[in-house]
Chain A
Amino acid sequence: MYDTSSNFLNVHEWAYGATEVVHILSLAVGIGFIALVDLRLLGVGLARVSAERLWKATAVASLMGMVVAVTTGLLIFSTDPLRYFEHPAMRFKLVMVVVALAFNYTVHSRVIRAGYSRAISAGVAAFSLVMWVFIVFSGIFYSFS
């Protein structure tokens, strides 16, 4: 049986806090760069740079941000997996993260590279943005309920 009391993050409060800080900073990098491309697809921001160009310029940094965010998220989850898993807001967040990541690296990237119509591109960008914002909201709402 997994004993959470021996988890490093539970033993050292500073380590838990530091992991949360890295989680938020890496989310800002990961989501921030995806949002930058989404905003461009919606006609906001860097008008003289194509969405595909922006995607290529930020894809590696965004992926690195996501890898760190997921890793630190799992570390936080490991401090009390049962409590996290049983909470509806956290379940919603976990499902949304999987869906949003899958969407980002399939439909989202395909639409950016293939140059679909403006309406389709804007719809995909809006859907992507809404999913990431929901993920942030569900993480906070978990703490308050």
Chain B
Amino acid sequence: MTLASIGQSIQHLGLFTAVRESRLVYPILLSTHLACVAVFGGLILITNLRLLGLALEDIPAADMIRSLRPWKQLGFVVMATCGVLLGASKASEYLPNPFFQIKMGLLIAIGVHGVYFRRSVYRTREPIAATQAHVAATVSLILWVGVVSMGRWIAYYDAPAPAQVTASVTEPGAGSH
């Protein structure tokens, strides 16, 4: 069983077929996915700039993280919901795509990063050690830039076309993020 055939099974589920075949739903989901990157990206950026000591230094980083957390979580839920619907509706193209695989790996790394720095940076009420703050922010920025970059690059992968799989090649400019 190949990734493409697993993808075929997923994308043939009713909801994902409806998303794929709708002329409006797919681009609306993709636009919302990207708008979340643009709108909620500012929340991630300002947090990381604060942790790096480059902005709003008089505001305790722990306070900033706490007050922005629910809005970041809301943005992530909307972004991820759109992403899952987009990915699953064309799963036979996405699953074998190495850029999609790297993007998923980076998203897992963001989760691991959050857990690793949970006590020392993201959930502490104590002043955050500068070294920990700098490392956490730098890693976060690298991972998020990687996620956004790989998202765009998904559209540029020319999949080989095995005989049994009817996956079509995604057109540059019309792909996912």
Name A residues whose Cβ lies closer than 8 Å to a Cβ of B: 13, 16-17, 20-21, 24-25, 27-29, 31-36, 39, 44-49, 53-54, 57-58, 61, 129, 132-133, 136-137, 139-141, 143-144
B35 touches A133 (CB 8 A): yes
Please measure, in the bound complex, the distance between the C-alpha atom of A28 and the C-alpha atom of B38, giving whole angstroms: 4
A28 touches B43 (CB 8 A): no
Please measure, in the bound complex, the distance between the C-alpha atom of A139 and the C-alpha atom of B174, giving whole angstroms: 10
B39 within 8 A of A: yes
Name B residues whose Cβ lies closer than 8 Å to a Cβ of A: 23, 26-28, 30-31, 34-35, 37-46, 49, 55-56, 59, 63-64, 67-68, 71, 145, 148-149, 152-153, 155-156, 172-174, 177
| Given A32-B39, A44-B71, A46-B68, A25:B148 Cβ within 8 A | yes
B174 touches A17 (CB 8 A): no
Tell me the smallest distance from the CB of A68 to a CB of chain B, in Å: 14
| Given A17-B156, A31-B38, A57-B56, A45:B43 Cβ within 8 A | yes
A13 touches B35 (CB 8 A): no
A35 touches B174 (CB 8 A): no
Query: Nearest CB to that of A31 among chain B residues?
Result: B38
On chain A, the residues within 8 Å of B152 by CB distance are 17, 20-21, 24
A45 touches B26 (CB 8 A): no
Interface centre among A35, A57, A140, A144 (most CB of B within 10 A): A140
B38 touches A140 (CB 8 A): no
Please measure, in the bound complex, the distance between the C-alpha atom of A136 and the C-alpha atom of B41, giving whole angstroms: 14
> Looking at the complex, which one of B28, B43, B172 makes contact with A17 (CB distance below 8 Å)?
B172
> Looking at the complex, which one of B34, B63, B71, B156 makes contact with A140 (CB distance below 8 Å)?
B34
Tell me the smallest distance from the CB of B21 to a CB of chain A, in Å: 13
Please measure, in the bound complex, the distance between the C-alpha atom of A100 and the C-alpha atom of B34, giving whole angstroms: 18
On chain A, the residues within 8 Å of B71 by CB distance are 39, 44-45
A27 touches B38 (CB 8 A): yes
A33 touches B46 (CB 8 A): yes
B174 touches A144 (CB 8 A): yes
Please measure, in the bound complex, the distance between the C-alpha atom of A132 and the C-alpha atom of B39, giving whole angstroms: 9
B43 touches A24 (CB 8 A): no
> Looking at the complex, which one of B26, B46, B148, B173 makes contact with A28 (CB distance below 8 Å)?
B148
Tell me the smallest distance from the CB of A103 to a CB of chain B, in Å: 16
Tell me the smallest distance from the CB of B159 to a CB of chain A, in Å: 15
Tell me the smallest distance from the CB of A60 to a CB of chain B, in Å: 10
A13 touches B148 (CB 8 A): no
B55 touches A31 (CB 8 A): no
On chain B, the residues within 8 Å of A47 by CB distance are 67
Query: Nearest CB to that of B173 among chain A residues?
Result: A143
Tell me the smallest distance from the CB of A43 to a CB of chain B, in Å: 11
Please measure, in the bound complex, the distance between the C-alpha atom of A61 and the C-alpha atom of B149, giving whole angstroms: 20
